[in-house]
Structure 1
Amino acid sequence: MHETDLHLEPNEASDLCRLFGPDELARRGWERAFVTVLDEATAENAIAVLAHAAGAAMDEGWTAVRVPADAGVHNGKTEDAEACAARGGYVYLVGSQFGKKRGPLAAKRSWIARVRESAIARALDDGTSAELDVVRLRFTLHRAINDALAGTDLLPLGPLGRQVYVDATIAAGEQKAKSWSGTVLPTDHPINIEAAEFTAEGTLLLGIRYPVTATGHPILVELANVDDLFTDPNAVPRCTRVWTLTDIGTPAAPAGFRALDTRDGVHFDAIIGDLDAAGKSATVLADHPEGALADSEHIAFTLTPTPAPLDTKSIHHFGDIRRVEGLAVDAQGHTHYVLDEEGHVALRTLVYE
């Protein structure tokens, strides 16, 4: 395992996805490149590129560059990017749809965005801002995921979570006459998205950190019409299939998704781990202290065409390392992980000899 410190501000990196084809990489003298997102920033300030010089040793030759972007009328109106995925010449960013650790749910975190890879390349070349197309969802993805999970037995939402995430959000929408008032319902669960990847069919697979099933297993939800959200102003998110990893997580140590990666849209790598970070006054853990116990682990699974419990294979266990936020497998088969560690962001690379 090779470790590299990344000098990025703020020090809150989430997720990884591969960036650029072989021609663009060769033009820049790079062997591999990834996008990561910085979750303590607005969407237009969240994009960073991690690149590795061709021929350099794995623990040397890395560059970390912030990519300026312009979200137009949505500048400053989003926060908490948690996931990224690439497809068809675009990089897609997904907001957590969640709230701060003590609530309530935040409309600023309810969004999805995309940027062309060619715009990222231009921004890297001349420093101009890449055009970022943002769709502010105003809890409609929250609504679609809750509806899709209606038939899934979920870990019960505790009384504090109900109060600060659901009841407080409903009250704020009503008191301020928000356009989204009525979208969050009293029976809902708050949704925390931390992973995203495209399936072979072009749908977006969302990895949910919280909630999990009543028996502690991670949940995947399919967003079937992601591109419609950018092309049709009247489109609303439509979530369809739901999968669970029934051999990951237990009632005593429930586990949620932290990251996803795929090369073919069928075979996936994932990071699973705890439901929230311990020692930070998280409401989720106040209701469910066992949610802090699951270790971080890299697993692999094959997506079935119809929803079914998915079998997994363990690839790497991280032991005492808990804040593993993203992974991507490069063209050479090396697995790269981005970690949030105290005071810095780290990139670790697992090389199979």
Structure 2
Amino acid sequence: MHATDLHLEPNEASDLCRVLSPDELARHGWDRAFVTVLDETTAEDALALLVHSVGAALDEGWSARRIHADAGLSAGKTEDAEACAARDGYVYLLGSQFGKKAGPLSAKRSWIARVAEQSIAGDGPVSMEIVRFRFGLHRAVNDALADVDLLPVGRLGRQAYVEATIARGQLKAKSWDGTVRATDHPINIEAAEFRANGNLLLGLRYPVTADGHPVLVELENVGELFDDPDAVPRCGNVWILGDAGSVEAPVGLRALDTRGDDVFDAVVGDLDASGKSATVLADHPEGARADSEHIRFELPPEAGGVVGSKVVHHFGDVRRVEGVAVDDEGHAHYVIDEEGHVALRTLVFE
């Protein structure tokens, strides 16, 4: 496993996705390029490009650059980027849809954005489109999960995330008042990747099933959300990774990657970081037990259900694995949050 320190500020990196065509890479003298997102800032300042020089060893030749975008009237109105994915010439970013560890849910975290993929490699301006959901995706995911037996929301989580958000919407007469309902689960999206059919597969870190298995939900109308200002998110298939996690050590999704088909690489791990007064762990202390693992699974054409997975790599004591991308040679790259810096690690399969 090769490790490379990336000098990025702020230091909370999340997710990883491959970008740029072979021709575009060659023009810049690169052989690999990935995007990651930084969650302690607004969407327009959340993108970072990680590139590797042609001919360099995998533990050398890496550099990182911040990408600053113009978000127009939406500038400054978003936070907590947690997932990224690329398709059809765009790089997409997604907010967590969650809240701070003590709640409540935050409308500033309820959004999706995109930039033109080709624009991130140059020195010119990068324009960003942002769609603010105002809990519309929270609503769509909760509706899709209505028939899934989920880990119950604990008393503290119910108060901090659900009841406090509802009360805030009513007190301040928010436009989204009524979108969050008393029976809802707070959702924390930390992974996203496109299926072959164009649906965006959302990986939930929380909630998980009552048996501790991770859950994925398909967002069906990504393009429509950007084309029609009146469009609302529409979610369909729900998938459960039935052999990952357990009641004793539940796991959620941390990262997703695919090479264009319906075979996915994923990172799964704990439900929240321990030692940071997370409300989720106060209700469910078992949610801190799971180690991080790189797994692989395939989705069939059927309409949702339980699928199996296989373990590719176990990370041992390394817990904050935030992103995975598998290159054309089959080597797995991971972005990892470590104390005071962000690390890119490469697992070389001989």
TM-score w.r.t. length of structure 1: 0.98
Contact 1:67 1:129 in 2 (8 A): no
Contact 1:198 1:265 in 2 (8 A): no
Distance (Å, rounded) in 2 between the aligned partners of 1:6 and 1:129: 23
Instruction: Name the residue aligned to 2:201.
Output: 205
Q: Give the 3-state SS of the residue equivalent to 1:172 in structure 2.
A: helix
Distance (Å, rounded) in 1 between the aligned partners of 2:121 and 2:338: 29
- 1:240-259 maps to which residues of 2 (within 5 A)? 240-259=236-255
Q: Give the 3-state SS of the residue equivalent to 1:142 in structure 2.
A: helix
TM-superposed deviation, 1:120: 1.2
Please give the per-residue CA displacement for 1:242-297, whole angstroms capped at 9, x wherever unaligned.
00001001001000000000012310000000000000000000000000001100
Distance (Å, rounded) in 2 between the aligned partners of 1:103 and 1:209: 16
**More off after superposition, 113-122 vs 252-261:** 113-122
Do structure 1's residue 311 and structure 2's residue 308 form an aligned pair?
A: yes
TM-superposed deviation, 1:304: 1.5
Do structure 1's residue 347 and structure 2's residue 311 form an aligned pair?
A: no
- 1:323-334 maps to which residues of 2 (within 5 A)? 323-334=320-331
Q: Give the 3-state SS of the residue equivalent to 1:309 in structure 2.
A: strand
Distance (Å, rounded) in 1 between the aligned partners of 2:30 and 2:229: 38
Instruction: Name the residue aligned to 2:28.
Output: 28
Instruction: Name the residue aligned to 2:45.
Output: 45
Instruction: Name the residue aligned to 1:77.
Output: 77
Distance (Å, rounded) in 1 between the aligned partners of 2:193 and 2:107: 23
Q: Give the 3-state SS of the residue equivalent to 2:248 in structure 1.
A: coil
Query: Structure 1: which amino acid aligns with 2:319?
Result: R
Distance (Å, rounded) in 1 between the aligned partners of 2:107 and 2:217: 20
TM-superposed deviation, 1:129: 3.1
Distance (Å, rounded) in 2 between the aligned partners of 1:316 and 1:349: 12
Which residue of 186, 210, 213 corresponds with 1:214?
210
Contact 1:245 1:310 in 2 (8 A): yes
Q: Give the 3-state SS of the residue equivalent to 2:146 in structure 1.
A: helix
Please give the per-residue CA displacement for 1:207-265, whole angstroms capped at 9, x wherever unaligned.
00000000000000000001100001111000000000010010010000000000123
Aligned residues: 349
- 1:110-129 maps to which residues of 2 (within 5 A)? 110-122=110-122, 125=123, 128-129=124-125
Instruction: Name the residue aligned to 1:62.
Output: 62
**4+ residue runs over 4 A deviation:** none
Which residue of 293, 297, 311 corresponds with 2:293?
297
Q: Give the 3-state SS of the residue equivalent to 2:10 in structure 1.
A: coil
Q: Give the 3-state SS of the residue equivalent to 1:316 in structure 2.
A: strand
Instruction: Name the residue aligned to 1:7.
Output: 7
Distance (Å, rounded) in 2 between the aligned partners of 1:341 and 1:288: 24
Query: Structure 2: which amino acid aligns with 1:261?
Result: D
Query: Structure 2: which amino acid aligns with 1:62?
Result: W
Distance (Å, rounded) in 2 between the aligned partners of 1:77 and 1:235: 20
Query: Structure 1: which amino acid aligns with 2:201?
Result: L
Q: Give the 3-state SS of the residue equivalent to 1:151 in structure 2.
A: coil
TM-superposed deviation, 1:68: 1.0
Query: Structure 1: which amino acid aligns with 2:135?
Result: F
Runs (5+) with no aligned partner, structure 2: none
Query: Structure 2: which amino acid aligns with 1:321?
Result: V
What's the C-alpha RMSD, in Å, of the aligned pairs? 0.6
TM-score w.r.t. length of structure 2: 0.99
Query: Structure 2: which amino acid aligns with 1:217?
Result: H
Contact 1:4 1:59 in 2 (8 A): yes
Runs (5+) with no aligned partner, structure 1: none
Report the identity percentage. 72
TM-superposed deviation, 1:121: 2.3
TM-superposed deviation, 1:334: 1.1
Query: Structure 1: which amino acid aligns with 2:31?
Result: E
Distance (Å, rounded) in 2 between the aligned partners of 1:121 and 1:229: 25
Instruction: Name the residue aligned to 1:181.
Output: 177
TM-superposed deviation, 1:332: 1.6
Which residue of 263, 266, 273 corresponds with 2:262?
266
Distance (Å, rounded) in 2 between the aligned partners of 1:130 and 1:333: 31
Q: Give the 3-state SS of the residue equivalent to 2:26 in structure 1.
A: helix
Instruction: Name the residue aligned to 2:317.
Output: 320
TM-superposed deviation, 1:37: 0.2
Which residue of 223, 237, 243 corresponds with 1:227?
223
